[in-house]
Structure 1
């Protein structure tokens, strides 16, 4: 599986035509303790860079942007029940939603792990 990172601090893990999306470790550190998330509706379609979800912390609120054009096919219900998963396991149990990609080649424009690490350093 391939993981790519956006300049807006989202990650997407590609598995075939399906991408799992969440916020990066760097993003959750900058936000602080996450207290609320608003996830998109299953069936909604977004273009790359559209705001699809919201994450709120004790410090701030931030949009979660689509890393590529796609349709939301699943949301993380566990994250709704326990928003702190975005802090404790941002690139695991704290994922936000899954999308069916319209054009997986769009992910080529995103950063790999090494490039993202340099970006946030």
Structure 2
């Protein structure tokens, strides 16, 4: 059964889905401390980040924002402290916060139909 990601363009569904995917990513990264293999953690975090990017794309298309904001999610910035989880997994805290900017926009910006059109007075 294929998953319809367009339905996450609605703000209420997007909030639940994005919060779940961010939580899955955080739990996967934190689970390296209990001995789960790094390749499995990478796989789970990678799939969750791809799903979050697709959901955010559909959410930003539902608003008046440009989908170019997704570049912050795709590009990685080495800003701030780095947390070395294992020999193969490194987590950059500042870059991760920057990559969540489009997700935050998806949480707060209303969709196109909800925004009022203001006419200029002559």
TM-score, length-normalised on structure 2?
0.30
Q: Which structure shows the higher helix fraction?
A: 2
TM-score, length-normalised on structure 1?
0.30
Q: Which has the higher contact order (CA 8 A, sep 6+)?
A: 1
